[in-house]
Structure 1
């Protein structure tokens, strides 16, 4: 079970353990034990030696002894407790933290300072932020309350994944990354139809539209597995670099004409990427010459019904994704 923060409660962790279900949960950073873990590990986490280039963020793992109630009862009726080891993976993305600091500066601190220097009144919200983040020495000079600033930024860019089975932080991160891609698929589906019906004339077409989105998600996952294997074989590529890699390969084109078809040459970075991902090199030679019967086919013979055209369109869409 790989889940988001909505399932990361103590009750659910106990229920997973009682039912023998392995899990990776994205834990809310606001929980007391999560805040304690962040405070204890932030100094070690914010260290160059904790950076993992494969997932492009800082990470570390702690073992935690977890006590949970079982179905057995004592003589007094209290639940008998059992213990197990949980792996707590903590991640830091400094880009997200830097974005949070920039938003705090530009969206909160600077407007307040400008009003204070111009003797303009502050709103109630601004007054509260001023009391928290800004110190006035009484001589017209101001300085930042470093303690409150660090407290505000402590959880920015932090992710905590809890698992009873996965001890490797990179493996846990990849599993959760794939869950997010499934969410992306649902989001695209909802945005595409806008909460409305598909506006298709047949059940088969509706199923086809949905299935094509499912295929795209599955192919993306398989492509990232190729990236994972290439990394294991020595080529340095981040696991979530699929969009960049596909962008590099996007200029490879196939030209189709009556004598057949051919691909543009594959050189340099493109060749290294395809070799690392174990993708067969397309031939630049002409191949697949059309038969005489295909050449003599009259365009009028290809007239189709609207339903047939609709089905063909989605067939081409599937072929485009697979290519």
Structure 2
């Protein structure tokens, strides 16, 4: 028997009507019911307004949104200074155009949520209504929590990849691309890729991994990937290269930390004829072999970098690369690589002190007979122990082993197949921290330290919107750095300074912009944007 059931959404306050049909479940041996959405209930008339399942009236026809400002239907005084800045950046970087091509019916909503995430630092989306009522923004209307969830779920993979391609074409230069991965913890038990793994922030929750690719000169992101939380960094390179190839980027230069190093990854990069710069462990045998050959003359004046206050040296050698061919058999090639070695005397001293303190603690454990099971390998590696009834336990340090370990304190190494000196390589590698800063923006400013969604589609869509917001933030930060704006303002401080500029709109009238000061004008100019004027 069919009945009508009413249910009110606590977040939006909207009451929905459902057709409920009862039936007997033979397997569970209990009565069950199946609900079908009929429509939403009009609060004034009490009538049920039919919908298509996404709370839009059936008679509504989807049409492609037109560019340009949304015509005003009422007189209003709204804050405009910061959203005008984001409008101008979107036009300059082609974000608005590219979003319209990829999401013609919803790009205004996407932009409005992006603006909210940037301007309302750390505020959750359910506060969008208040923000929307006092700001001029692309969509011009409120977006409830349910509507934003529906928007996120509507963002599909094909449209996202099209956006990556369009944005990449605007910014691809002959530059290295920084690639790194961060972890995002989640409380959800329903997301398939949420897994326990090596959490980079020592969080005890299961996690997702998020990979980002940044241009080192542009300082702008153009691609990201969502990964299962238990996937180690080194396992992601081949899929990354395949994805970039699909997007049309067959010739790239990647900068990566040592978590991505493996022989298979280096071989894959050579196979794709790609340039790379990657950090590696000094404990690797071929790294130590080449370092030992130059060790005695390493700390000389000629090899000292005053800028970075360390010693550096470059060695050219060959990489043992075997390419497997089903037709010609294995082809053994020896492509040229460069090993850049660096020695930091301060770090060497700190490492030696820490190591000696560790040895002292281990020796005390042995002498007192308080052995720790997890330390057995270290006891065996660094100490000789003799126990007699009269003298007790005598512990002797294996000096040769200890000196061999200390020999490489303070050293680190980079590998590249691009011709450059050691200082240039170090500068490129250190510029990789733009990705770390971007992860900070995502987690702190854009409120992505914890995922607060429970469906795969909503998560995918929200990540994309967060990624678009990250492009704007990255542009603003780079402009502030290039123009020394950070001397006088924080990022939030600069936005707050122009945020108070108002606009006045009325039906049939041109938009009027309120008064603004010379300092506000200077901020726009430093950010590469022409100050606003009445339209």
Contact 1:93-1:157 within 8 A present in 2 as well: yes
CA deviation map 1:157-211 (0-9, x unaligned): 332211111331111111111112322321343244222469xxxx9x9688534
Does the 8 A contact of 1:44 with 1:50 survive in 2? no
Alpha carbons 1:86, 1:163 under 8 Å: kept: yes
> Which runs of structure 2 are paired with 1:105-116 in the superposition (5 Å)?
105-106=356-357, 108-114=358-364
Which of residues 372, 375, 387 in structure 2 aligns to 1:123?
372
Which residue, 252, 260, 271 being the options, matches 1:18? 271
1:257-303 CA-partner distances (Å, limit 9, x unpaired): xxxxxxxxxxxxxxxxxxxxxxxxxxxxxxxxxxxxxxxxxx9x999
CA distance in 2, matches of 1:127, 1:165: 43
Partners in 1 of 2:382 and 2:471 — Cα distance?
Answer: 51
1:25–1:121 CA distance, 2 compared to 1 (3 A): closer
CA RMSD in angstroms, aligned pairs only = 4.3
TM-score by length of 1: 0.55
Q: In the TM superposition, what are the counterparts of 1:43-58 in structure 2 within 5 Å?
A: 43-58=296-311
Distance (whole Å) between structure 2 residues aligned to residue 213 and residue 102 of structure 1? 41
2:416 pairs with 1:166: no
Whichever of the two has the greater Rg, that structure is: 2
Structure 2: distance between partners of 1:9 and 1:208:
32
1:214 matches 2:468 = no
> C-alpha separation between the residues in 1 aligned to 2:373 and 2:381?
13
| Cα distance, 1:42 vs structure 2 | 3.3
Q: Which residue of structure 2 lines up, in the alignment, with residue 62 of structure 1?
A: 315
Instruction: Output the CA distance in 1 between the equivalents of 2:321 and 2:381.
Output: 39
Match of 1:79 among 330, 341, 350: 330
* Secondary structure, counterpart of 1:43 in structure 2: coil
Query: How many residue pairs get matched?
Result: 231
**Greater share of helix:** 1
| Greater strand content | 2
Q: 2:381 matched to 1:132?
A: yes
Judged with a 3 Å threshold, the aligned counterparts in structure 2 of structure 1 residues 191 and 40 are, in CA distance, closer, same or farther, namely farther
The answer for the alignment partner of 2:342 in structure 1 is: 91
In structure 1, distance between residues paired with 2:384 and 2:345: 26
Once residues 466 and 265 of structure 2 are traced to their aligned partners in structure 1, the CA distance between those partners, rounded to angstroms, is: 36
Equivalent residues of 2:441, 2:470 under 8 A apart: no
Matched, 1:148 2:401: yes
CA contact (8 A) 1:86 1:164 kept: yes
Judged with a 3 Å threshold, the aligned counterparts in structure 2 of structure 1 residues 46 and 131 are, in CA distance, closer, same or farther, namely farther
Task: Give CA-to-partner distance per residue, 1:39-58, whole Å, 9 cap, x none.
Answer: 33333334454221222222
Counterparts of 1:146 and 1:186, CA distance in 2: 43
Q: Matched residues in 2 for 1:104 and 1:63: separation? A: 32
Shift in Å, 1:222:
4.5
Please give the TM-score of this superposition, normalised by the length of structure 2.
0.36
Shift of 1:134: 4.4
* Structure 1: gaps (5+ residues): 227-245, 252-298, 304-315
* Displacement after TM superposition at 1:319 (Å): 4.6
